[in-house]
Amino acid sequence: MSATTALTSKRIHEALGELLERRDPNARGTVLGAGNDDLDSGRRFLSVLADGGWIVPIWPTRHGGRDADDAEASRIAAALADYEVADLYPYGVGLNLVGPILLSCGSPEQQDRWLRPIADGSEVWCQMFSEPDAGSDLANVGMRAERDGDEWILNGSKVWTSRGAYARWGMCLARTDASVAKHRGLTMFAVDMKARGVEVRPLEQINGDRHFTEVFVADVRVPEAHRIGDLGAGWGLTVETLAHERATIGGRTFGGGDDEELGLPAWLEAWRDAGLLVDPVSRQRAMRAYALYRVNQLTAARAVAGGSTPGPEGSGAKLRSVAAFKARAYLGKDLLGPGGMLSEGPGHLEFLTAPSMSIRGGTDEVQRNIVGERVLGLPGEPRVDKDVPFTELRKSR
Ligand SMILES: Cc1cc2nc3c(=O)[nH]c(=O)nc-3n(C[C@H](O)[C@H](O)[C@H](O)COP(=O)(O)OP(=O)(O)OC[C@H]3O[C@@H](n4cnc5c(N)ncnc54)[C@H](O)[C@@H]3O)c2cc1C
């Protein structure tokens, strides 16, 4: 039961209707901010909704939520789908990853300092996990954090840092003890991206995104008060963060813009109405894309109704979402025939963004390993280095 009176869908619509415009059901959605580094529309959108706690309803009211229970939060999410919603990609790490982690293990001071600016869009976060030698094998992180009084001194580099170009804070995994096994000596920090010693260099993606970065960290001082969670608890927090990330990616079909009813989605109707589905092979591929899309949507809805904290099953959700997104993006391109070679054509951005979906948030292969081991209970991969101190591990350089 929520602390405030639980709202019916009707009351939620009345409240949102005063703040937002109704969505055009035929409007084309955006894909994880691809090709567009617009921060302003998302910030305006979040600031309008923050006072009512509509974006993060299950967060406490004082931190920008409304103390809603899971059922009320689901009603709010369903209602929001009927309105014009800004692309919140720039704010995704804060809202979906850092926020839940701070709520589960942040100090009261950290919650007071960081949650509200996440909810109202005034501060953007990025996720500083991956390094040149730590991707799928993320526990191999080499970024060092050494204690100096009531500060930590961080040295190392991160790569593939989405949103690094405009983030104010980075959630950064660093090694605080190299004498123990690699999973055990890690700790999470909040790094001020404007601090002296932080250098952010852009990496341009094939879809034109320019917020992607590599981040070099040289003698960066981080206050002890900005350590998130316990010393040495970084791996557990990483697993928790990645479960939130995969559940988020898997939670809704990329691109949005389709209604939840069991009618044909707008993209499929558009192909049919344009006469692109007359040959049987195209129709068969379209039905495959539709089946993947619908199964993913229904399974995600069932998971939301379950309301549990995300776990390894989020890996299955991510795999399904990625398969659905890629089937649709690649078929959309093929259906255009030679016209598909034009970069101005519809669906070009989705086509160029699709390959990254199988990599970001953990690759498809790694998701399958997680599902195999942690959901299906199959034998684990051989992990010969799991009990070896980090200092004794063989390194690539
Ligand atoms: C668009 C995009 C955005 C990203 N954003 C962020 C971000 O914001 N923050 C961040 O920290 N990182 C980010 N990443 C990094 C991403 O998490 C890593 O790229 C990913 O985890 C893979 O790591 P890697 O690139 O080092 O590949 P590797 O780990 O070197 O993998 C190479 C290949 O080997 C396969 N492989 C590796 N290990 C296994 C195994 N045990 N079993 C089977 N196959 C295996 C992989 O599946 C892959 O095909 C982003 C990546 C992309 C593409």
| 4 alpha carbon, distance to own chain's centre | 29
pLDDT value of position 260: 52
Is 128 within 8 Å of 215 (Cβ atoms)? yes
Is 315 within 8 Å of 249 (Cβ atoms)? no
pLDDT value of position 171: 98
pLDDT at 276 over 60: yes
Mean pLDDT of 62-69: 96
Is 145 within 8 Å of 221 (Cβ atoms)? no
pLDDT in tens, 103-147: 999 999 999 999 999 999 999 999 999 999 999 999 999 999 999
pLDDT value of position 299: 81
pLDDT in tens, 365-395: 999 999 999 999 999 988 899 899 999 998 7
- Pick from 157, 204, 363, 368 the residue to mutate for probing ligand 1's pocket: most ligand atoms within 8 Å of its CB: 363
- Given this chain, do its domains 126-232 and 252-375 carry the same CATH topology? no
Q: Is the CB of 203 under 6 A from ligand 1?
A: no
CATH topology for 252-375 is Butyryl-CoA Dehydrogenase, subunit A; domain 3 (1.20.140)
Q: Whose CA is nearest to atom 26 of ligand 1?
A: 135
Q: Is the CB of 160 under 6 A from ligand 1?
A: yes
Q: What is the 3-state secondary structure (H, E, C) of 184-227?
A: CCEEEEEEECCCCCEEEEECCCCCCCCCCEEEEEEEEEEEHHHE
pLDDT at 267 over 50: yes
pLDDT band with cut points at 50, 70 and 90 for residue 1:
very low
Q: Is the CB of 366 under 6 A from ligand 1?
A: yes
Q: Is the CB of 365 under 6 A from ligand 1?
A: yes
- Pick from 130, 141, 374, 384 the residue to mutate for probing ligand 1's pocket: most ligand atoms within 8 Å of its CB: 130
What distance in angstroms lies between residue 136's CA and the mean position of ligand 1's atoms? 5
pLDDT at 199 over 70: yes
Among 86-95, 115-124, 141-150, 305-314, the least confident range: 305-314
E strand or H helix at 78: helix 70-80
What distance in angstroms lies between residue 139's CA and the mean position of ligand 1's atoms? 13
Nearest to 189 by CA among 229, 139, 134: 229
pLDDT value of position 394: 80
Mean pLDDT of 81-87: 89
pLDDT band with cut points at 50, 70 and 90 for residue 251:
low
Other C-beta atoms lying within 10 Å of the C-beta of residue 338:
6
- Pick from 32, 157, 160, 241 the residue to mutate for probing ligand 1's pocket: most ligand atoms within 8 Å of its CB: 160
E strand or H helix at 70: helix 70-80
Is 245 part of the annotated catalytic residue set?
yes
Contacts of 109 (CB under 8 A, 6+ apart): 225
- pTM of the prediction? 0.92
Percent of the chain scoring above 90 in pLDDT? 74
pLDDT value of position 264: 85
Mean pLDDT of 87-104: 95
φ/ψ of residue 223, rounded to 5:
-60, 145
For the chain, give the mean pLDDT.
Answer: 90
pLDDT at 190 over 90: yes
Percent of the chain scoring above 70 in pLDDT? 90
pLDDT value of position 259: 47
pLDDT band with cut points at 50, 70 and 90 for residue 397:
low
Domain boundaries, the chain: 9-87, 126-232, 252-375
What distance in angstroms lies between residue 210's CA and the mean position of ligand 1's atoms? 19
Q: Whose CA is nearest to atom 48 of ligand 1?
A: 363
pLDDT value of position 336: 93
pLDDT band with cut points at 50, 70 and 90 for residue 2:
very low
Query: Was domain 126-232 assigned CATH 3.40.50.1820?
Result: no
Catalytic residue (choose from 245, 260, 344, 365): 245
φ/ψ of residue 176, rounded to 5:
-100, -15
Among 33-42, 183-192, 218-227, 236-245, the least confident range: 33-42
